[in-house]
A and B are shown apart, each in its own frame.
Chain A
Amino acid sequence: EAQVTQNPRYLITVTGKKLTVTCSQNMNHEYMSWYRQDPGLGLRQIYYSMNVEVTDKGDVPEGYKVSRKEKRNFPLILESPSPNQTSLYFCASSAGTAINEQYFGPGTRLTVT
């Protein structure tokens, strides 16, 4: 089954404790992206990647890092999480380098206390 998986689905952590949210897709998609969703603000793009070793900042990259060492994986790293990073995070992937149909993962709800 074609899908985007994210882990963990739910995470409660404390300020400053490094964490990684994994994202993996099995569709051989080139384009992958991370978004955060906050009430009243919609989705905001954090980082995107058009292919292996090619990443760029979205609108809200501060406090996040990403890497794209393999085509299928695109982990999101929070080196020192802060409470303002409490949010619902979505990973997505699409074929090609253009914005074709993006397949979204199920979301990761992160709480930083």
Chain B
Amino acid sequence: GQQLNQSPQSMFIQEGEDVSMNCTSSSIFNTWLWYKQDPGEGPVLLIALYKAGELTSNGRLTAQFGITRKDSFLNISASIPSDVGIYFCAGAVKKSSGDKLTFGTGTRLAVRP
């Protein structure tokens, strides 16, 4: 099955630092999504991007839909301890039967107080 290349695999940063992670694919997607997963929970949607070139913010989070439609990045500014978790990108392709979703392998973020 298809998967997205997500990097970095893990990050260990100091509280207050900015964080950047990205996803790349050989395929084009109609929609890019970014999720966060806390331990023992299902993923929660952070940001959805629907157009190539779109730049969207949600509080301290900013994400962009690459103009080639094959990549996306997520930035977290001024990290805090509750940012700890696993971040997943996901690309969606619109089909006649509905939206098919492909996830990245995740970026595990640890924040040192």
Contacts and interface: CB of A to CB of B under 8 A. Distances in A.
Q: Is the interface of B mostly helix, strand, loop or mixed?
A: strand
B66 interface: no
Given A50-B99, A54-B97, A99-B92, A107 B42 contact: yes
Given A60-B1, A92-B42, A45 B97 contact: no
B33 interface: yes
Interface stretch (B67-75, B77-85, B101-109): B101-109
B3 interface: yes
Interface of A: 31, 33, 35, 40-45, 48-51, 54-56, 58-60, 90, 92, 97-102, 104-107
A75 to B, nearest CB: 17
Interface residues of B, number: 28
17 contacts: A42-B106, A43-B43, A43-B90, A44-B1, A44-B103, A45-B102, A48-B99, A48-B101, A56-B97, A59-B3, A59-B102, A97-B98, A98-B99, A99-B31, A99-B33, A104-B43, A107-B41
Nearest to B89: A42
Contacts of A99: 31, 33, 48, 90, 92, 99, 101
A57 B37 CA distance: 24
